[in-house]
Amino acid sequence: MKKLTFNGVIGGTIITLLFIVAAIGMFWTPFDPMKLSFSARLAAPSGAHLLGTDEFGRDVLSRLMVGAQASVWIGFATVCFAVFFGTLIGLISGYARGWADGIIMAFNNALLAFPGILLALGLLAVFGANQYGIIFALGIAYTPSMARIVRGAVLSLREREFIEASKVMGNSEIYTILRHILPNCLAPITVLATSMFGWAILSESALSFLGLGVPPPAPTWGNMLAAGRPFIEQAAWLGFFPGLCIALTLLGINLLGDALRDKLDPRMRGLK
Amino acid sequence: MLMAVPTIVIVAVAVFTLIRLIPGDPAALMLGDLAEPQQIAALRSTLGLDQSIPMQFMIWVGHLFNGDFGKSIVTGEPVLHLVLSRFFISAQIVVLAVFIASIIAVPAGVIAAWKQNSLTDLALVGTATVLLSIPTFWLGLLLLLFFGLKLGWVPVLGYVSVTTDWKAGLIYMALPVATLFIHEMGVIIRMARASTLEVLRLDYITHARAKGLSEQAVLWRHAFKNAFGPTWTMIGLILGNLLGGIAVIETVFSIPGLGRLLVDSIFQRDYPVIQGCLLLVAVAYVLVNLVVDLLYPLFDPRVVAE
């Protein structure tokens, strides 16, 4: 039990800090994140600019704070998209079974046969490289795995006595699904959604790094790394801090995910 | 196993549809802003873009069966040749990295599970979680900064294939392989640990211990065999996923691989090349997982290949 709490506390602290920094960045940053200053180009970290400045003299700390918003918002919106549609598809497919299930799952499995980032790249070519494009592309790429998990949970739940009982009591199928089946799927949904939040933040930064994500000058951690790359020899901090932010965020989410899985996943209960 | 065929068919339809959804006319894009409408129309008909969508699909599939994946709109190179040559570059990096990572990470994961909740376990799992949280493109950038720019051990720019000069080729491959290897170690250690933990609490392990077998024998002869299955499946998934996700690594190390080709063709709206890349990676992904499934009975005789 000790380790479980440790993971949860560290992970929870990191993610809470991320949310706080992103929230503060909405109202206040040390400098204007977009303001160019050619006299302060590539200034090393100092008392004035805690994390230094970039190739246009913009304050790195301020840009990282605004970049945190982009990560949180894109991650959150992507997860909401995938949870909503994945759960809907999984519930329908698992509850209906039969030919509807067959067709939906054949399509679902074909999408799963595509590595997620590749599907997102293809979809981004369609939706265009901006934050909404990323949200739709990643959301669609992640929906199939959510649908599969929910369907699996529904398939085993629908044979249980309490579902039978609900039907015998004369409850409508919609009511049974929403009142009795869905709440029992929440544990696997929560665990997967937590991981997805991390995948989305990582994919967003990778896509922005490739130049296919949020376009500059709007700062995201990924496009800051890409923009700083040609200058890392003179200004190593440009290649260091944005990556550190991504890595810390992912570490927080992974630790939190582990703690949640230990707590919620019944298969893991016997192991502790 | 039979799922592989319909999956590839659906993937082909999806790839084709996806590309048609992209806004913008490649013919207009190729000719630039000053092109006359007649020129654009002429180019559209040479590219086959003036046909109906279902017709374009049928023509495309027909050509695929003849090994004709079309020509790059930008360079005029045959797509199949282009994509396959780039695929080889990416695949050697991915396969080498995952192979080395597995050799080290699988035993490490088994040991972590065996010593569950000990200091060794905590250290291994902690390291693994940190490693897998580091984005590959950042790790690559840091390695490049340190070993390339600070120490000057490896060249920072350019690429030499192992087939032209194996010594130089290996040097160019060292950092990308190391980057992927470090990242995948984290993933595989955790997977191997989790599946070993599940096996270790089963009754037959207690039985093996009760028989008086040494811990070594219990762990490697009894537990490991059964625990390796899920890890093996995971390694297959990683191989496929890396092929899709290697674009960032290739960007960091300026390697002309498949991922970079795909990203560049998205920028240039080179439809045939985008289609070729997506299709090839999807097919490779399906095939890798098929091979993984077929080899599964070697490790776990309880599973019989269908």
Chain B residues in contact with A123 by the CB 8 A cut-off are 18
Q: How close does chain B come to A135, measured CA to CA in Å?
A: 17
pLDDT at residue number B293: 80
User: Nearest Cβ partner of A114 from B137, B252, B282?
Assistant: B282
The per-residue DSSP string of B53-89 comes to HHHHHHHHHHHHHTT---B-TTT--BHHHHHHHHHHH
pLDDT greater at residue A153 or residue B269: A153
Kindly state the average pLDDT of the residues B3-13. Answer: 76
Tell me the C-alpha distance between B192 and B229, whole Å: 9
User: Nearest Cβ partner of B141 from A124, A210, A225?
Assistant: A225
Question: Percentage of residues in chain A with pLDDT exceeding 70?
Answer: 94
Q: State yes or no: pLDDT of A272 exceeds 50.
A: no
pLDDT at residue number A131: 83
Q: What is the pLDDT of residues B164-194, one digit of tens each?
A: 777 777 788 888 999 999 988 998 998 889 8
Instruction: Tell me the CA distances in angstroms from A84 to A112, A150, A158, B245, one per residue in order.
Output: 18, 11, 20, 26
Domains annotated on chain A, with CATH: 2-24+61-269 (1.10.3720.10)
Q: Say if the Cβ atoms of A247 and B6 lie within 8 Å.
A: no
Two tokens at A201? 């933040």
Q: What is the pLDDT of residues B81-139, one digit of tens each?
A: 888 888 888 888 888 999 999 999 999 998 898 888 888 888 999 999 999 899 999 99
Kindly state the average pLDDT of the residues A189-195. Answer: 89
Q: State the CB neighbour count (10 A cutoff) for residue A222.
A: 32
Q: pLDDT tier at B159 (50, 70, 90 boundaries)? A: confident
Q: Say if the Cβ atoms of B266 and A113 lie within 8 Å.
A: no
pLDDT greater at residue A112 or residue B300: A112
pLDDT at residue number B303: 66
pLDDT at residue number B3: 64
Chain B window 119-178: which residues touch A at a Cβ cutoff of 8 Å?
A: 122, 129-130, 132-135, 137-139, 141-142, 145, 149
Instruction: Tell me the CA distances in angstroms from A52 to A60, A63, A228, B72, one per residue in order.
Output: 6, 11, 12, 43
pLDDT greater at residue B13 or residue A252: A252
Q: How many helices (H) and strands (E) does chain B have?
A: 14, 0
Where on the phi/psi map is residue B76: left (φ > 0), alpha (ψ -120 to 50), or beta?
A: left
Q: How close does chain B come to A37, measured CA to CA in Å?
A: 26
pLDDT at residue number A2: 47
Which pTM was predicted?
0.86
Two tokens at B302? 């309880």
pLDDT, chain A, mean: 84
Q: pLDDT tier at A201 (50, 70, 90 boundaries)? A: very high
Q: pLDDT tier at A270 (50, 70, 90 boundaries)? A: very low
Q: pLDDT tier at A252 (50, 70, 90 boundaries)? A: very high
Q: Compute φ and ψ for B68, nearest 5 degrees.
A: -100, 105
Q: What is the pLDDT of residues B215-269, one digit of tens each?
A: 888 888 888 877 887 788 888 878 877 776 788 888 888 888 888 888 888 888 7
pLDDT at residue number B66: 81
| Among the listed residues A126, A154, A155, the one whose alpha carbon sits nearest the alpha carbon of residue A140 | A126
Q: State yes or no: pLDDT of A86 exceeds 70.
A: yes
B201 near A CB under 8 A: yes
Q: Say if the Cβ atoms of B266 and A121 lie within 8 Å.
A: yes
Q: What share of chain A is helix, strand, coil (3-state, %, to 5)?
A: 75, 0, 20
Q: Say if the Cβ atoms of B137 and A110 lie within 8 Å.
A: no
Two tokens at A202? 């990582």
pLDDT at residue number B116: 85
Kindly state the average pLDDT of the residues B58-62. Answer: 82
> Residues with Cβ < 8 Å from B108, sequence gap 6 or more?
B124, B185, B189, B192
B3 near A CB under 8 A: yes
Kindly state the average pLDDT of the residues B52-81. Answer: 81
Tell me the C-alpha distance between B43 and B27, whole Å: 6
Q: pLDDT tier at B22 (50, 70, 90 boundaries)? A: low
User: Nearest Cβ partner of B135 from A3, A111, A206?
Assistant: A206
pLDDT at residue number A247: 93
Tell me the C-alpha distance between B63 and B49, whole Å: 15
Chain A residues in contact with B282 by the CB 8 A cut-off are 113-114, 118
Q: How close does chain A come to B287, measured CA to CA in Å?
A: 10
CA B141 to chain centre: 20
pLDDT at residue number A271: 43
Two tokens at B55? 């017709």
Kindly state the average pLDDT of the residues B29-40. Answer: 72
Q: State the CB neighbour count (10 A cutoff) for residue B22.
A: 18
pLDDT at residue number B8: 78
ipTM: 0.85
pLDDT greater at residue A47 or residue B125: B125
Kindly state the average pLDDT of the residues B153-163. Answer: 75
Contact A163, A178 (CB under 8 A): no
